[in-house]
Structure 1
Amino acid sequence: MSIPTHNRPHLGRAVSDLPYDVLREIFLHCLPQYPLNVDVRQPNMQVAPMLLCHVCSSWRFVALSSPQLWARLSCRLTLFEDNDNEEIPRFLKTQIEFLQWWKQNQGAISPFLSIELESTYCNSIYLKTEECLIASDSMNFLLAWIASAQYLDIDPFLWEEFDRILHQDDTYPSMVHTLIRRMYWTDEGSPVPNVPYLKYSCISSLSKLRRLCITEAILPGSMLFHNATIPTQWTTLTHISLYKVDISHKFWFAILRATPNLQWAYLEIEYVVTDTPSDIAKYVHHHLNTLFIVFHYLHSPHIFPLCKFFSGLELPALRKLSISSDADSWNDDTSTLDLVAASQSAQGVETLFLGKGFLCAGDPVQMNLKALIHAPLWVYLPRLSHLQVQITPGITFRGPTANDQMDVFLRNFLTPDQHWVDLGSEGYTTPIRKLTFITDDAQLDSVVELAASRFQELAKRTPDIEFQLASELETQAASDAWKAWGAIA
Structure 2
Amino acid sequence: MTRIPRAWTRTAMSICTNCAAPISARPLTLESLRARLDELELLLKALNTERNLLLAESRAVTYPVLTLPNEITTQIFLHCVEDAKRPDGHSRPIPADSPLLLTRVCRSWRAIALNTPALWSQVAVRNGLSPEILNMWLQHATPLPMDLYILLNNPELSSPLVDLCLAHAKYWRNVSFCIPSIEYLRLKDAFDHPELDLPLLSEVKFSFTHASSADRWSDAILAIRRAPALKKVEVLTPPKTIPITVDWSQLTHLRHLTGVRIGTCLEILAQCLALEELVLETYCDEDLDKASIVSLYRDTPIILPHLRQFSCLLQNAQSPLLYLTLPALVDLTTRYNGVEATTTILSAFFRRSAPPLRRIQLSVDGFPVDALLQTLDVLPSSVETAEFSLGRNENSLSQLLGALAIESSTGWGFRAIPALRKLCLHLQMGPIEPSQYEALLALLRVRPRVVHVEAHHRLRVVGPDWGISKPPKAVVDAFREMGVSRGLRVKVRVLGMMSRHLKVWNFGA
TM-score, length-scaled by structure 2: 0.60
Alpha-carbon distance in structure 2 between the residues aligned to 1:140 and 1:410: 56
Structure 1 contact 49–63 (Cα < 8 Å) conserved? no
Structure 2 contact 343–374 (Cα < 8 Å) conserved? yes
Deviation at 1:173, TM superposition (A): 2.7
Structure 1 contact 448–466 (Cα < 8 Å) conserved? no
- Over 3 Å counting, the alpha-carbon distance change for 1:167 and 1:464 in structure 2 is same
Structure-2 residue corresponding to 1:52:
101
What is the 5 A alignment of 1:370-449?
370-377=370-377, 379-395=378-394, 405=399, 408-410=402-404, 415-416=407-408, 421=409, 423=411, 426-428=412-414, 430-440=418-428, 441-444=430-433, 447=436
Structure-1 residue corresponding to 2:360:
352
Alpha-carbon distance in structure 1 between the residues aligned to 2:354 and 2:374: 18
Alpha-carbon distance in structure 2 between the residues aligned to 1:168 and 1:26: 38
Give secondary structure in 2 for the equivalent of 1:382: coil
Structure 1 contact 215–242 (Cα < 8 Å) conserved? yes
Deviation at 1:70, TM superposition (A): 4.4
Give secondary structure in 1 for the equivalent of 2:316: coil
2:383 partner amino acid: L
- Over 3 Å counting, the alpha-carbon distance change for 1:380 and 1:100 in structure 2 is same
What is the 5 A alignment of 1:335-350?
335-344=342-351, 345=353, 347-350=355-358
What is the 5 A alignment of 1:37-76?
44=92, 48-56=97-105, 57-58=108-109, 61=112, 67=118, 70-76=120-126
Deviation at 1:466, TM superposition (A): 0.9
Structure-2 residue corresponding to 1:285:
304
Deviation at 1:149, TM superposition (A): 2.3
Deviates more, 1:168-177 or 1:16-25: 16-25
Alpha-carbon distance in structure 2 between the residues aligned to 1:121 and 1:15: 41
- Over 3 Å counting, the alpha-carbon distance change for 1:452 and 1:26 in structure 2 is farther
1:171 aligns with 2:199: no
Alpha-carbon distance in structure 1 between the residues aligned to 2:84 and 2:192: 41
- Unaligned runs of 5+ residues in structure 1 are 1-12, 37-42, 79-91, 123-132, 185-191, 296-303, 361-366, 479-489
Deviation at 1:197, TM superposition (A): 1.8
Deviation at 1:315, TM superposition (A): 0.9
Deviation at 1:432, TM superposition (A): 1.8
Deviates more, 1:463-472 or 1:157-166: 157-166
Deviation at 1:201, TM superposition (A): 5.7
- Over 3 Å counting, the alpha-carbon distance change for 1:446 and 1:322 in structure 2 is farther
1:436 partner amino acid: C
- Over 3 Å counting, the alpha-carbon distance change for 1:139 and 1:98 in structure 2 is closer
Alpha-carbon distance in structure 2 between the residues aligned to 1:201 and 1:383: 42
**1:51-108 CA-partner distances (Å, limit 9, x unpaired):** 33324345885797584x6454212478xxxxxxxxxxxxx8x314422442135441
- Over 3 Å counting, the alpha-carbon distance change for 1:104 and 1:462 in structure 2 is closer
Alpha-carbon distance in structure 1 between the residues aligned to 2:347 and 2:449: 28
TM-score, length-scaled by structure 1: 0.63
1:253 aligns with 2:256: no
Whose Rg is larger? Answer: 2
Deviation at 1:286, TM superposition (A): 1.4
Structure 1 contact 173–205 (Cα < 8 Å) conserved? yes
1:182 partner amino acid: F
Structure-2 residue corresponding to 1:466:
453
Give secondary structure in 1 for the equivalent of 2:280: strand
Structure 1 contact 390–437 (Cα < 8 Å) conserved? yes
- Over 3 Å counting, the alpha-carbon distance change for 1:319 and 1:214 in structure 2 is same
**1:10-48 CA-partner distances (Å, limit 9, x unpaired):** xxx996899765774465245322258xxxxxx846653
Structure-2 residue corresponding to 1:273:
285
Structure 2 contact 191–223 (Cα < 8 Å) conserved? no
**Larger RCO, structure (CA 8 Å, separation 6 or more):** 1
- Unaligned runs of 5+ residues in structure 2 are 1-62, 459-492, 500-509
1:251 partner amino acid: T
Query: Which of 245, 249, 261 lines up with 1:235 in the alignment?
Result: 249
1:289 partner amino acid: R
Structure 1 contact 49–70 (Cα < 8 Å) conserved? no
Structure 1 contact 268–293 (Cα < 8 Å) conserved? yes
Structure 2 contact 117–143 (Cα < 8 Å) conserved? no
Alpha-carbon distance in structure 2 between the residues aligned to 1:114 and 1:75: 5
1:196 aligns with 2:217: yes
What is the 5 A alignment of 1:51-200?
51-56=100-105, 57-58=108-109, 61=112, 67=118, 70-76=120-126, 94-114=130-150, 118-119=154-155, 143-150=166-173, 151-153=175-177, 155-164=180-189, 167-174=192-199, 175-182=201-208, 194-200=215-221
Alpha-carbon distance in structure 1 between the residues aligned to 2:303 and 2:203: 26
1:368 partner amino acid: P
Alpha-carbon distance in structure 2 between the residues aligned to 1:121 and 1:318: 44
Alignment length (residue pairs) = 378
**1:435-486 CA-partner distances (Å, limit 9, x unpaired):** 22222434458745533433543x5x442241321466999xx9xxxxxxxx
Deviates more, 1:194-203 or 1:441-450: 441-450
Structure-2 residue corresponding to 1:332:
339
Alpha-carbon distance in structure 1 between the residues aligned to 2:358 and 2:270: 24
Give secondary structure in 2 for the equivalent of 1:291: strand
